[in-house]
Amino acid sequence: MLHKRILLVRDENALGNVYNELKLNFDKIEVSVRDIIIERVFQEVQKYNEKAVAYKFALVQPKEDEMRLNHAKEKKKKLINVEKQVEIALKAFDSNGFFILLDERQIEDIEEIVTLKADTIISFIKLTPLVGG
């Protein structure tokens, strides 16, 4: 029987303050760090793209003349390419644009295989470059 594993992902700053949390679902117990990054990017892009087109499915839609009068012209939102974003995220990990903690242990190898437990927490810590350096 296949059991889904839910992984809690946190975005933190360098001081350890959590500013975002999300849950990722996996169909296997062991996954690579690469898989975690890819799944995270996939879910974020999917969520963004759904919001970008959500207005088209609203129950109440202003008529064209109402939109013109209210300067509410519909702006086309560009959908994000998931493959491009995955490539950017993987390169950022490789170039230390962010680092990952698995239950407080820093992960350095993107190919490392991790075992997902019920209480596993992954933290993404984005580094901010110093001014002038």
Phi, psi of 84 (to 5 degrees): -65, -40
Section 100-119 average pLDDT: 93
Is the predicted pLDDT of residue 13 greater than 80, yes or no?
yes
Q: Tell how far CA 102 is from the center of its chain.
A: 16
Assign a CATH topology to domain 5-126.
Ubiquitin-like (UB roll) (3.10.20)
pLDDT score of 68? 65
The whole-number pLDDT of residue 71 equals 58
Report pLDDT for 124: 94
Model confidence at 115, pLDDT cuts 50, 70, 90, reads very high
The residue whose two tokens read 């242990």 is 105
What pLDDT does residue 79 have? 87
49 or 128: whose pLDDT is higher?
A: 49
SS3 of residue 20 by DSSP? strand
pLDDT tens for each residue of 76-86:
678 889 999 99
48-65 mean pLDDT: 65
Q: Kindly list the domain boundaries of the chain, sorted by start residue.
A: 5-126
